[in-house]
């Protein structure tokens, strides 16, 4: 099983610079994380090697977790052998599908978060 968490912390500094409340910042980041994890899931399913389709069909998104200063999104490849495919073994080359999807999702997350923060920022 491959479990990939992405946590964005340091929101307190961003709030101070934008003049946005903590609640608005967390909600913007949580909304962006929900969008991003959905896109990461879709891309990982597309990239994942398919012999039977089981692994690709078992890439799931868990609910976004929020704290006062961070937001965490999780995309989880539930097939027992997912980590062997992602990272390889001494007998098999790696065929990454989660890491490339997460890498491409980073820019989506940042752009979506910034767009949502601009909607509530005081410097409109």
What pLDDT, in 10s, does the model give residues 97-111? 999 999 999 889 888
- 41-99 pLDDT, tens digit per residue, is 999 999 999 999 999 999 999 999 998 878 899 999 999 999 999 999 999 999 999 99
pTM greater than the 0.95 cutoff: no
**Where do the structural domains in the chain lie, given as residue ranges?**
2-46+54-114
DSSP state of 123: T
Question: What CA–CA distances, in Å, run from 54 to 13, 41, 82, 87?
Answer: 42, 14, 10, 18
Residue 26 has what pLDDT?
82
Diameter of the chain measured on Cα atoms: 56
């Amino acid at each position: 099983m491959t479990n990939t968490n992405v946590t964005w912390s340091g929101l307190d500094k961003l709030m101070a610079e934008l003049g946005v409340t903590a609640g608005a910042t967390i909600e913007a980041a949580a909304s962006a994380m929900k969008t991003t994890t959905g896109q990461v899931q879709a891309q990982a399913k597309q990239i994942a090697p398919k012999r039977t389709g089981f692994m690709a069909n078992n890439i799931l998104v868990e609910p976004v977790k929020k704290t006062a200063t961070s937001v965490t999104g999780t995309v989880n490849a539930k097939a027992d052998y997912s980590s062997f495919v992602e990272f390889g073994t001494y007998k098999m080359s790696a065929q990454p599908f989660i890491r490339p999807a997460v890498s491409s999702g980073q820019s989506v997350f940042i752009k979506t978060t910034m767009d949502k923060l601009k909607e509530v920022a005081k410097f409109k």
